Chain A
Amino acid sequence: MAQDHKHLEVVLDSQVESVNLAEEMCLRVAEAAGFDEEMCYRIGMSVREGVINAFHYGNQERPDKKIHLALELTPEKLVIHVMDEGKGFKLSDVPDPLAEENILSTSGRGIFLMRAFMDEFDVVPGSTGGAEIVMSKWLPGVPGHANGQSGSSENGTAPQKEA
């Protein structure tokens, strides 16, 4: 790994408390990396949703299964990996929470929020056999990217003004 890349990896238990722990850890890294308050919120929320996904859907809340969280800080972006020990899933199989038939569903918005709040998002087969969420946010000031400006959105999901 290049010297200017920083890497942090932790293994979390499958429990609710791990969600808050992961969020707090990533917020500290994001703040230290120079993201503003709004971007830190989006990163923290995405990590939170990623770990909830691993805990609930991937590991089925089984205490014998772990959640693997890794953060990579490169000169260009913060990359976050969340891997579970479940059976894996395909993004194409995830229902669209904005579809009329799903709008009143009480679950199924986590993936949508991660996609909305991060610059890059994918789900790949993990080395554990489960799913690995890989998502990233461009660092403030990286040429060609608008991050660091509060309220910006590059994926068309910016909230509309209140009527």
Chain B
Amino acid sequence: MPLYATHRDSGTVTVVDMGGRITLGEGSALLRKTIGQLLDEGHTRILFNLADVDYIDSSGIGELVHAYTSARNRGGELKLLHLTRKVRDLLQITKLYTVFEVYSDEPTAIRSFQ
């Protein structure tokens, strides 16, 4: 399934709900476009909800890293919520699990930005 991404506000935090595959091509491009637009609009506290992202390749991992560094470069924060097993496993073997702040419930994730 192609990637979809919609966003909503939860207090001062922007939650981006994503589903599908983050892979080379449209998926990675949509992720880059989404983070670019949010940062341009001044959203700097961003939570990626990856609950329905069932597949990610090295290109997708690269886009997550790009989103993370872009947010930090704007003085913001980007955190991850609800990783599926495959995504979590990939972040662990690439050692990125220790780079990202990862949460398994949304209220806790939202509070962590305060």
Give A residues with C-beta under 8 Å from B. Answer: 16, 19-20, 41, 45, 48-49, 52, 97-98, 103-107, 109-110, 112-113, 116, 157, 159-160, 162
Contact = CB atoms under 8 A, between A and B. Distances in A.
Contact of B57 (A52, A106, A112): A52
Contacts of B68: 104
Contact of A103 (B63, B86, B90, B99): B99
B12 interface: no
A36 B69 CA distance: 37
Contacts, number: 55
Given A19-B25, A52-B24, A112-B94, A159 B57 contact: no
Interface string B67-107: 01100000000000000001011101111100100000000
Contact of B61 (A16, A48, A109): A109
B66 A45 contact: no
A98 B99 contact: no
Given A19-B25, A106-B62, A106-B63, A159 B93 contact: yes
The majority secondary structure among interface residues of chain B is: helix
A52 B65 contact: no
A142 B59 CA distance: 33
B24 A104 contact: no
Nearest to B29: A16
A106 B66 contact: yes
